[in-house]
């Protein structure tokens, strides 16, 4: 790790993310083009997902031949991330948004070292917003206005407010592709308890948001635009880049099930909290209390 040039790796990932963004915007998204499904009718993959992953994996294997590579479209069930430097890549995170032309899809490029998210680059080509983070080196968000790049450090607020509990929180959640069974029931019940009025036993959070991309949800928490994000069912490639950016912006990643303070990168159950001078652990505990006895049952 000591001899890895993380800044050079970040710069390579930024270049690739922008190139991939060009491929995404050049494709026929939102034009009834061919899609394929994986687990069920809402777990969708397109030719563009595959072409972008091919371009990224070929480029990274050339540039870093000794590193491992894990990508959403070529991963085989059972394969886990090892301790060696590993690129963890989602060519299009938010494929459902992509095929609907809903402008929240991104390229998510992470590097894990010792299974720890170490470099992260997320690029949303629809809105031309790029997030990046390097372990120990901070996180930034780059937008463009009038042709000029504007780079801001994350979180966007210089003095993030303390977290004062779920009652004043804006939370990211996702439905995922399981639409029946234990995980689906637990999500639906948790969303009800989070949003219901205090008089009826709920926490009455400010509201719930679903950006449709785990990476963009994590980027929003890192930026301080959402207070938390809870997800069960997504994979390491959905969260690796965003996790690095989150931590570099002062956030924490806990587990999606109660009691897990140190979740695994490929554990598939996550609870992210924004950077704040106080209240991070308390709000995690409060969220876990809402889950109660339930448990997300996604397996690695």
Cβ 150 to ligand IPD, closest distance in Å? 26
Q: 264: Cβ–Cβ under 8 A, 6 or more apart, which residues? A: 115, 300
Candidates 275, 225, 218; CA nearest to 244 is: 218
Is 93 annotated to bind ligand?
A: yes
Residues in the chain: 300
Residue with smaller CB distance to ligand IPD, 213 or 280? 213
Q: 117: Cβ–Cβ under 8 A, 6 or more apart, which residues? A: 88, 110, 111, 135, 239, 240, 241, 243, 244, 247, 265
What's the rounded Cα separation, in Å, for the pair 114 and 81? 9
Q: Which among 238, 245, 283, 291 is annotated as catalytic?
A: 238
Residue 166 near residue 202 (C-beta atoms within 8 A)? no
Residue with smaller CB distance to ligand IPD, 135 or 268? 268
Cβ 179 to ligand IPD, closest distance in Å? 12
90 is catalytic: yes
128 is catalytic: no
245 is catalytic: no
Residue 278 near residue 160 (C-beta atoms within 8 A)? no
Is 90 annotated to bind ligand?
A: yes
Cβ 173 to ligand IPD, closest distance in Å? 9
Cβ 246 to ligand IPD, closest distance in Å? 15
Closest residue to ligand IPD: CB criterion = 174
Cβ 110 to ligand IPD, closest distance in Å? 13
227 is catalytic: no
**What radius of gyration, in Å, describes the C-alpha atoms of the chain?**
18
Structure tokens at 135: 């372990």
Q: 88: Cβ–Cβ under 8 A, 6 or more apart, which residues? A: 70, 81, 110, 111, 112, 117, 236, 237, 240, 241, 265
Strands 170-173 and 228-232: parallel
93 is catalytic: yes
What's the rounded Cα separation, in Å, for the pair 220 and 212? 12
Q: Which among 46, 48, 86, 95 is annotated as catalytic?
A: 95
Structural element, H or E, at residue 24 = helix 6-26
Residue with smaller CB distance to ligand IPD, 176 or 275? 176
The residues binding ligand IPD (CB under 6 A) are 72, 90, 93-95, 174, 176, 212-214, 231, 233-234, 238
Q: Which among 53, 73, 93, 178 is annotated as catalytic?
A: 93
Q: Which among 56, 92, 134, 291 is annotated as catalytic?
A: 92
Residue with smaller CB distance to ligand IPD, 104 or 193? 104
DSSP state, residue 209? E
Residue with smaller CB distance to ligand IPD, 163 or 246? 246
Is 238 annotated to bind ligand?
A: yes
Residue list, annotated binding site: 72, 90, 92-93, 238
Q: Which residues are catalytic?
A: 72, 90, 92-93, 95, 238
Give binding residues for Mg(2+) as ranges.
72, 90, 92-93, 238
């Amino acid at each position: 790790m000591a001899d890895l040039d993380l800044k050079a790796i970040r710069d390579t990932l930024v270049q690739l993310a922008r190139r991939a963004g060009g491929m995404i915007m050049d494709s026929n998204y939102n034009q009834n083009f061919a899609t394929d499904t994986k687990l069920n009718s809402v777990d969708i993959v397109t030719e563009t997902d595959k072409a972008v992953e091919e371009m990224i994996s070929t480029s990274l294997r050339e540039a870093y031949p000794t590193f491992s590579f894990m990508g959403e479209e070529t991963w085989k069930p059972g394969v886990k991330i090892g301790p060696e430097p590993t690129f963890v890549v989602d060519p299009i995170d938010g494929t459902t948004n992509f095929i609907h032309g809903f402008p929240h899809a991104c390229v998510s490029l992470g590097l894990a070292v010792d299974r720890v998210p170490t470099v992260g680059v997320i690029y949303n080509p629809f809105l031309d917003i790029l997030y990046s983070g390097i372990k120990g080196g901070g996180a930034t968000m780059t937008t463009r206005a009038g042709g000029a790049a504007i780079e801001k450090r994350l979180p966007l607020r210089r003095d993030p407010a303390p977290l004062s509990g779920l009652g004043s929180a804006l939370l990211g959640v996702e439905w995922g592709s399981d639409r029946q069974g234990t995980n689906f029931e637990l999500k639906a019940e948790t969303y009800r308890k989070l949003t219901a009025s205090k008089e009826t036993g709920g926490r009455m959070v400010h509201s719930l948001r679903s950006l449709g991309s785990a990476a963009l949800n994590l980027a929003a928490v890192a930026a301080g635009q959402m207070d938390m994000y809870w997800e069960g069912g997504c994979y390491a490639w959905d969260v690796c880049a965003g996790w690095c950016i989150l931590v570099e912006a002062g956030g924490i990643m806990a587990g999606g099930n109660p009691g897990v303070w140190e979740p695994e990168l490929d554990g598939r159950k996550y609870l992210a909290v924004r950077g704040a001078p106080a209240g991070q652990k308390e709000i995690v505990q409060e969220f876990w209390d809402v889950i109660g006895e339930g448990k997300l049952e996604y397996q690695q």
